[in-house]
A and B are shown apart, each in its own frame.
Chain A
Amino acid sequence: MHERRTFRSLLPLAALCLLAVLPFAAQALGQPALTTLATRMLILGLAASGLNIALGMGGLVSFGHAAFYGIGAYSVGILTTHAVAGAPFLGFIPGSEQLVVTLLASLLASGIVAAIIGALALRTSGVQFIMITLAFAQMLFFLFVALKAYGGDDGLSMRRRNAFAGLNMRDDATFYYTCLSVLLVWLAISARLLHSRFGLLLGGIRQSERRMQAIGVQTVRLRWLAFVISGMGTGLAGALMANLGRFVSPDMMHWTQSGELLIMVVLGGAGTVFGPVIGAVALIGLESLLASWTEHWQIILGPSLVLLALTFRGGLARLGKREGR
């Protein structure tokens, strides 16, 4: 039992070491594409981790988080386009190609959109909440499909990645480390949230809203706050993804993207700090593995997910932990 515990506590450290040397290993193995794949995993891990604040901690099953993912991405795409064209967005917001600026803008934009959607959707609960978040995301999806100024359904391409502190962002390894750093900061914030007063009360609401109301907690306000923070995390991931592929399209807001994020969280372990990232790595890894193997990879992916869900109840992150929390 004791050995097992030390093993578990060493696991994050081992994972961190592996992540730190990954671009070098990929280079040495003659597989540079591996770095890009790993970057994708990190970014979607961040997106799933954002969703986890609402889903895992708050028990809010949002089927519309692709909206925030897309808003974050479009924040980057639109600001970059305006920076290149030299004309301010909406006539007064200057464009920018600085990563710090575009990331902050994506946080702000996805936060505002989450605040509005949350304020309306949180009047409902259960299945209705799922459907309303889905509906809002689809509305935004069609809005951007129709928005010809920013590429419509063709999407927006960017000449180059946003600049950051004189680093060569064109280099995939450099961009990988940038994303890894953002993810680690976000995970540190998540861990802090989970054990904070906010996290404890939010978890309480998930378990019994009636109980929390009876001790004087304003449950709706707290869940709304969780929803906004959650949307911001996923928005940040969208901004990084826009930079990775130098491309933004409405597809990022499609409901299947929301579904994938949900799968990642549940697969990895809802309500845990590392679970969503593990889920993202597992899902994308499985996808690309199967896709390289056969054209009909989805036929295998579906049953594999069902099998995984049945085998690891509570998620991969809870593997080997004792029953319960």
Chain B
Amino acid sequence: MQQPILTIERLRKRFGGLRVTDDVSLDVRENEIHALIGPNGAGKSTLIGQIMGEIVADAGTISLCGRDLARLSQARRVRLGLARTFQVPEVLGEYSARENVLAALLARRGGRFFSNASRDEGLVREAEGFLVRAGLDGRGDQRVADLAHGERKLLELAVALATHPRVLLLDEPMAGLGPQESTQMIDVLRSLRGEIAMLLVEHDMNAVFALADRISVLVYGRIIASGSAAEVRADPLVRIAYLGTEEA
């Protein structure tokens, strides 16, 4: 079996009286797409926030390639190989699509702080490569504020890839996408399989079943089931807690 790269053990987080992360243990193995599903408010985005270091957990450990991430800043975690996308795309609206990717490349690269960035041809070509990977070829000059929602989602993916991640944390990449855009996103993500491990938080079950190697179900901050698609589908707890509410 493949080695886990990202390991979460007994993670806990409370907001006041609300247990948003309740004893969560989870791992993402090398080259695996691990889907995390669950109804709204189950604590999925909060979990991503904790992995990135944006939100501090109350207890438990998160480690990347065996290295404990506690007390590491978000910048350090990104350098170690974590990247994320947001449910509502966080992109730089005044910049062009290419500049958005350039920013990620520049953040990685130290030194030459005051040199002209957008004239560095090597960097520009590298940025273009990530745009192509995300299916945004020819859109580099487009101002991001003028991009469609689906394109912004893809752009976020290109930006995340530009940080050269080992694990990609995807917060509902399909949210708000039309059928065609969803298909494109699934294709792009599938093309990354085998290169980058992913934790895929998603509501779109078609996407989950199309992509996931393993599925975990998070309800009210607790993992209630974990396993292959077939196992999770057959789990009686899941049927009640998750699929049941979906049908209702």
A residues sitting closer than 8 Å to B (CB atoms) are 192-193, 195-201, 203-204, 207-208, 210-218, 324-325
Are A212 and B107 in contact (CB-based, < 8 A)?
yes
| B91: Cβ under 8 A from any A Cβ | yes
| B115: chain A residues within 8 A (beta carbon) | 196-197
- By the criterion of a CB under 8 Å from any partner CB, how many residues of chain B are at the interface? 39
From B75-83, B187-195, B215-223, give the one contacting chain A.
B75-83
Are A207 and B94 in contact (CB-based, < 8 A)?
yes
Are B114 and A218 in contact (CB-based, < 8 A)?
no
| Complex: A91 Cα to B201 Cα, angstroms | 65
Are A200 and B117 in contact (CB-based, < 8 A)?
yes
B residues sitting closer than 8 Å to A (CB atoms) are 52, 54, 73-75, 77-79, 83-84, 86, 90-95, 99, 102-104, 106-109, 112-119, 143, 145, 159-160, 162-163
Are B83 and A193 in contact (CB-based, < 8 A)?
no
Are B114 and A213 in contact (CB-based, < 8 A)?
no
| A207: chain B residues within 8 A (beta carbon) | 92-95
| A195: chain B residues within 8 A (beta carbon) | 116-119
Q: A192-B114, A195-B117, A215-B159 are in contact. Are A203 and B94 (CB under 8 A)?
A: yes
**Minimum C-beta distance from A196 to chain B (A):** 4
| B162: chain A residues within 8 A (beta carbon) | 215
Q: A210-B86, A215-B104 are in contact. Are A200 and B93 (CB under 8 A)?
A: no
| B117: chain A residues within 8 A (beta carbon) | 195-197, 199-200
Are A208 and B91 in contact (CB-based, < 8 A)?
yes
Are B78 and A200 in contact (CB-based, < 8 A)?
no
| A193: chain B residues within 8 A (beta carbon) | 114
Closest chain B residue, CB of each to CB of A193: B114
Closest chain A residue, CB of each to CB of B104: A215
| B94: chain A residues within 8 A (beta carbon) | 203, 207, 324-325
| Complex: A216 Cα to B75 Cα, angstroms | 4
| B78: chain A residues within 8 A (beta carbon) | 214-216
**Minimum C-beta distance from A131 to chain B (A):** 26
Closest chain B residue, CB of each to CB of A189: B114
| Complex: A109 Cα to B162 Cα, angstroms | 40
Are A200 and B90 in contact (CB-based, < 8 A)?
no
| A196: chain B residues within 8 A (beta carbon) | 113-117
| Complex: A215 Cα to B75 Cα, angstroms | 7
**Minimum C-beta distance from B61 to chain A (A):** 22
| Complex: A195 Cα to B112 Cα, angstroms | 13
Closest chain B residue, CB of each to CB of A213: B74
Are A218 and B73 in contact (CB-based, < 8 A)?
yes
**Minimum C-beta distance from B103 to chain A (A):** 5
**Minimum C-beta distance from A3 to chain B (A):** 24
| A217: chain B residues within 8 A (beta carbon) | 75, 103, 107
**Minimum C-beta distance from B118 to chain A (A):** 7
Closest chain A residue, CB of each to CB of B96: A325
Are A324 and B90 in contact (CB-based, < 8 A)?
no
Are A214 and B84 in contact (CB-based, < 8 A)?
yes
Closest chain B residue, CB of each to CB of A324: B143
Are A211 and B90 in contact (CB-based, < 8 A)?
yes
| B143: chain A residues within 8 A (beta carbon) | 324-325
Closest chain A residue, CB of each to CB of B112: A197
A selection of 28 A-B contacts at a CB cut-off of 8 Å is: A195-B117, A195-B119, A196-B114, A196-B115, A196-B116, A197-B106, A197-B114, A203-B92, A207-B93, A211-B86, A211-B92, A213-B74, A214-B52, A214-B78, A214-B86, A215-B78, A215-B107, A215-B162, A215-B163, A216-B74, A216-B77, A216-B107, A216-B108, A217-B107, A218-B73, A324-B143, A324-B145, A325-B143
**Minimum C-beta distance from B186 to chain A (A):** 23
| Complex: A193 Cα to B113 Cα, angstroms | 9
Closest 5 CB pairs of A and B: A216-B78, A211-B90, A215-B104, A207-B92, A197-B117
Closest chain A residue, CB of each to CB of B76: A216
**Minimum C-beta distance from B141 to chain A (A):** 12
Are B91 and A200 in contact (CB-based, < 8 A)?
no
Are B74 and A200 in contact (CB-based, < 8 A)?
no
Are A204 and B92 in contact (CB-based, < 8 A)?
yes
| Complex: A197 Cα to B115 Cα, angstroms | 6
| B84: chain A residues within 8 A (beta carbon) | 214
Closest chain A residue, CB of each to CB of B120: A197
Q: A196-B114, A196-B116 are in contact. Are A215 and B86 (CB under 8 A)?
A: no
Are A198 and B75 in contact (CB-based, < 8 A)?
no
| Complex: A217 Cα to B105 Cα, angstroms | 11
Q: A214-B78, A215-B163, A216-B108 are in contact. Are A198 and B91 (CB under 8 A)?
A: no
| Complex: A195 Cα to B115 Cα, angstroms | 8
Are B75 and A197 in contact (CB-based, < 8 A)?
no
**Minimum C-beta distance from A43 to chain B (A):** 25
| Complex: A218 Cα to B112 Cα, angstroms | 16
